[in-house]
Structure 1
Amino acid sequence: MLIPAYRPIVRCSKPLLKQVGTWPAGAISALQDCFEQTTWITFKAAATDGGTVNLEEYTASVTGYISKCIDDVTVSKTITTRPNQKPWMTPEVRMLLRTRDSAFRTAQNNVAAEKSIPPQNDQVLCLTAADVRRTLRGVNPRKAAGPDNIPGRVLRECADQLADVLTDIFNISLSCAVVPTCFKTTTIVSMSKKPTVSYLNDYHPIALTSIIMKCFERLVMRHIKT
């Protein structure tokens, strides 16, 4: 009896068109100039009510602005993606993912964070702009961006322009013992374990988190290790 040759499901996928952002010449310089001329204090002032800073609003507005500036200097390009369409990514799964994302965006967390009272002599960690700038300059530019769509290349090349505002956000987060929601969101993508994919188990999940949050974690970890 002849056994038909096995054909991996993944190779049956049709090529798809995808929009990606490309960096034309001078894009980074334009981005640096944009951030240099930005009055970052206005974002904090807009999120302040009665002397209290709304960390969620402050962080979301800053990261959203950075993402918009990136879109302004990059050029959208259509590319063809070939057989890496996951066999389990059916239209039904896509619809469920869109429903989940929509529900997450509209959900409101009104539960106030509770924390224990620190000892009287305990001092809250306070980061310096120099430490944040040094950490941003050490970011791997090839790292994939998280849900905030801010790639490592931007954080590395614009470290001087972004250090002060990110230091302010980090220190408010530390003093309030609250991590902004946009720093905690994650995009899950699947990566193949082998050059040739034959089974679903040949994939493993990769979590793409905010690179800004990774820098924040690195700064806190450095303090804890010390």
Structure 2
Amino acid sequence: MDELAALTKLERVYRESSLLCFTETWLKQDIPDSVISLTGFTLVRADRSEVESGSSDHNLVNLLPVYTPVVKQQSPQGKEVMIWTEEASEQLRDCFNITDWDVLCSPHGEDVDSLIHCVTDYIHFCVENTVPSRTVWCFPNNKPWVTSELKALLNEKKRAFLSEDKEELRRVQRELKYNIRRCKASYKKKLEQGMEQNNIREVWRGLKHISGHGKSGDVLQVIGDQAWANELNLFFNRFDLARHRAPSSLPSRQAIHPQLSSFTPQLPAQHSALLPTVTVDQSTVDQSTSTPFRLTLDQVRRELKKTKARKATGPDNISSRLLRECADQLCEVVLFMFNLSLSLERVPALWKTSCVVPVPKISHPKELNHYRPIVLTSHLMKAMERIVLSYLRTQLVHL
């Protein structure tokens, strides 16, 4: 038993075995082991005549399972998250309040692209030096009710087990059982409060986590080289490419097919009177075109505060929560960038850039059409689009 305890403690192959089979000493290397071999398991023999087994007086058979634990099927993923506390948000607002935006904007003149890059980099600099961040590790076998305190107790239990301190091990085990019951009850209460408060988002997230619906292992990972990415990009932009293609001189219907004219005749003159006519007040059009369209500070502030905090960031890496928390401090410089872009009739390249994420429509995609493009754009560009859209709607009323 001492030898078995030593092998289990020191050798990983013995410690992770599913079954230990002890036989009589007559089991030799030349005797087949088909009697004790199991389907789906790896058989390891330790005969007494072998040097590896220490020439012991018994034979040890170790069976290793083919099944791989969940924690080993997928490596843990580390993700850096920002800790948005009220104190950090207040410090970030103070940082933007004391910023002299004229010093950043005046050197660029009418170069809207360099202006956008300069302001974006400065915002990133302020966020990195103000808002704390930490790296969170997500393990595939994590339960939704497991907290960091519970993980610390599990590590403490492992240390007590390795040190063979039975009193400490019993104490940690009692504390661990109590905290497991408390964490489960707390998670249950959280789900019940979400249903009572009609918080469907949190309830649905908890149900998906418990049932395992929508896990990353169930969705096929998109893997491909640069050529495949370019081909997928061309497929997603096939309509834009056809629209922006240079127009060519189209042949007449008679040149395409002699009988095409008989099938597609011109609209008779008597039917043209049935078409609706649109009358445009030319004075209204001239007055609207003569007045340049400029945004106001209240419009920009209102749109920034309406930004949803849970939306994914675009290529500029400016989070929606940042725009929402610091709308009063950033609305002035954002207004200047919006009006400069509208006056120059040019959209900055950073705002036009989009990050397209291909999401499989089915479990096993085989064609390019089996992927759905999810486009991530800049939140500042979305705010500007909403303001311009509301202005265009008011102008279309006069038509």
Residue in structure 2 matched with residue 37 of structure 1 by the alignment: 98
Matched, 1:59 2:124: no
Shift in alpha-carbon separation, 1:223–1:66, aligned structure 2, 3 A: same
Counterpart residue identity of residue 75, structure 1? S
Q: Which has the higher relative contact order, 1 or 2, with Cα contacts under 8 A spaced 6 or more apart?
A: 1
- The offset of 1:79, in angstroms, is 2.7
Counterpart residue identity of residue 74, structure 2? K
Q: What stretches of structure 2 of length at least 5 have no aligned partner?
A: 1-71, 141-215, 234-285, 395-399
Match of 2:290, SS state, is: coil
- Report if aligned partners of 1:126, 1:171 keep a CA contact under 8 Å in 2: yes
Residues 68-87 of structure 1: pairs in structure 2 closer than 5 A: 68-72=125-129, 73-80=131-138, 83=216, 86-87=220-221
TM-score normalised by the chain length of structure 1:
0.72
- The offset of 1:42, in angstroms, is 1.0
Match of 1:205, SS state, is: strand
Residue in structure 2 matched with residue 157 of structure 1 by the alignment: 325
Match of 2:106, SS state, is: helix
Shift in alpha-carbon separation, 1:93–1:44, aligned structure 2, 3 A: same
- Report if aligned partners of 2:303, 2:383 keep a CA contact under 8 Å in 1: yes
Among candidates 80, 83, 90, match of residue 23 of structure 1: 83
Q: How many angstroms apart in 1 are the aligned matches of 2:372 and 2:134?
A: 29
Counterpart residue identity of residue 87, structure 1? Q
- Report if aligned partners of 1:124, 1:174 keep a CA contact under 8 Å in 2: no
Q: How many angstroms apart in 2 are the aligned matches of 1:143 and 1:65?
A: 22
- The offset of 1:198, in angstroms, is 2.1
Q: How many angstroms apart in 1 are the aligned matches of 2:73 and 2:390?
A: 45
Q: What stretches of structure 1 of length at least 5 have no aligned partner?
A: 1-11, 101-118
Q: How many angstroms apart in 1 are the aligned matches of 2:132 and 2:348?
A: 27
- Report the aligned-residue RMSD: 3.0
- The offset of 1:223, in angstroms, is 0.3
The Cα offsets for residues 169-211 of structure 1, whole Å up to 9 and x where unpaired, read as: 0001001000011101111123465xxx622277522100000
Match of 2:355, SS state, is: strand
Q: How many angstroms apart in 2 are the aligned matches of 1:147 and 1:13?
A: 32
Residue in structure 2 matched with residue 198 of structure 1 by the alignment: 363
Residue in structure 1 matched with residue 146 of structure 2 by the alignment: none
Counterpart residue identity of residue 321, structure 2? R
Q: How many angstroms apart in 2 are the aligned matches of 1:129 and 1:76?
A: 35
- Report if aligned partners of 1:148, 1:210 keep a CA contact under 8 Å in 2: yes
- The offset of 1:21, in angstroms, is 2.1
Residues 50-199 of structure 1: pairs in structure 2 closer than 5 A: 53-72=110-129, 73-80=131-138, 83=216, 86-90=220-224, 92-93=225-226, 122-191=290-359, 198-199=363-364
Shift in alpha-carbon separation, 1:205–1:60, aligned structure 2, 3 A: same
Name which one, 1 or 2, has greater alpha-carbon Rg: 2
Match of 1:79, SS state, is: strand
The Cα offsets for residues 74-124 of structure 1, whole Å up to 9 and x where unpaired, read as: 30314337536753324x349978xx9xxxxxxxxxxxxxxxxxx795222
Shift in alpha-carbon separation, 1:86–1:211, aligned structure 2, 3 A: farther
- Report if aligned partners of 1:64, 1:148 keep a CA contact under 8 Å in 2: no
The Cα offsets for residues 102-160 of structure 1, whole Å up to 9 and x where unpaired, read as: xxxxxxxxxxxxxxxxx795222100011100111111111111011111111111100
Number of residue-to-residue matches in the alignment: 188
Q: How many angstroms apart in 2 are the aligned matches of 1:24 and 1:218?
A: 27
Q: How many angstroms apart in 2 are the aligned matches of 1:190 and 1:15?
A: 23
The Cα offsets for residues 41-96 of structure 1, whole Å up to 9 and x where unpaired, read as: 11111213xxxx21111111111211222222130314337536753324x34997
Counterpart residue identity of residue 137, structure 2? I
